[in-house]
Amino acid sequence: MKTKEKSGANQLIELVVIIAVAIGLALGIQAFLVKPYRIPSESMEPTLDVGQRVLVNRIGGRFSDPSIGDVVVFHPPAGADTNQCGAPKPTDQACALPVPRRSKVNFIKRVVAGPGDHIRILNGHVIRNGKPEKDGYIRPCAPGDDCTLQREITIPKGMWFMMGDNRGASDDSRFWGPVPKKWIIGGAFATYWPPKRIGLL
């Protein structure tokens, strides 16, 4: 009888340990490796819809720079809340410098330029180092959208310029500047919800 009681107690302890380890692994994976992220706005349409969920690689961004075309999750500058640029600028120019503090919120956008790149924007299309961006994935600006910033800027060292794919409805680096690497959380690499949209980015 005592043997059975001991066996039952051991099984309960083993189950508790297994559950604790599983929870610990799940939290560790989310904190350091892969994190789920819900799309909060229409700024990345048609690539990503409101409510769609993606997986973000948190570890890759720590060791390598993002590439042009990557979709990344990051902390925008604190000025993003009010479209505040970190330096005075003419109305026909994108913001070339963010405010020095980062926001606590997360954004998801596409990398369109990196350190040292020269860019200007014509009707929502990025002209990078004199060449038009290959942007078949974007939703173009509609008539009446203010999408032209034709005065060229240079992206500072260690920073990346982010734009939403929905060029006429995205709050992005055009208004609050490029993002330092240390504010980038990671690259989105796959969608997992809804089921009909499961796939790699």
Tens of pLDDT, residues 98-151 = 999 999 999 999 999 999 999 999 999 999 999 999 999 999 998 877 799 999
Cα 113 from Cα 110, distance rounded (Å): 9
Bigger pLDDT: 114 vs 19: 114
* Cα 72 from Cα 55, distance rounded (Å): 10
Measured distance CA(161)–CA(119) in Å, rounded: 9
Strands 184-193 and 53-57: antiparallel
Residue 4 has pLDDT above 90, yes or no: no
Determine whether 89 is an active site residue.
Answer: no
Q: Please tell me which residue in 35, 43, 103, 173 is annotated as part of the active site.
A: 43
Residue 79 scores a pLDDT above 90 = no
Mean local confidence (pLDDT), 71-84:
93
Q: Which of 35, 109, 170, 173 is catalytic?
A: 109
Q: What is the pTM of this model?
A: 0.82
Q: Over 70: is that where the pLDDT of 178 sits? A: yes
Cα–Cα distance, 201 to 199 (Å, whole number): 7
Q: Is the pLDDT at 11 greater than 80, yes or no?
A: no
The dihedrals phi and psi of 140, each to the nearest 5 degrees, come to -65, 160
Q: Which residue has the higher pLDDT, 9 or 46?
A: 46
Question: Measured between alpha carbons, how far is residue 144 from residues 70, 95, 141, 169, 183 in Å?
Answer: 28, 21, 8, 12, 33
Residue-wise pLDDT for 24-73, tens only, equals 444 444 444 578 999 999 999 999 999 999 999 877 555 589 999 999 99
Residue 20 has pLDDT above 60, yes or no: no
DSSP 8-state assignment for residue 75: P
pLDDT band at 8 (very low <50, low <70, confident <90, very high): low
The verdict on whether 109 is a catalytic residue reads yes
Confidence of residue 18 (pLDDT cuts 50, 70, 90): low
151's tokens: 């005065």
As a whole number of angstroms, the distance between CA 157 and CA 182 comes to: 12
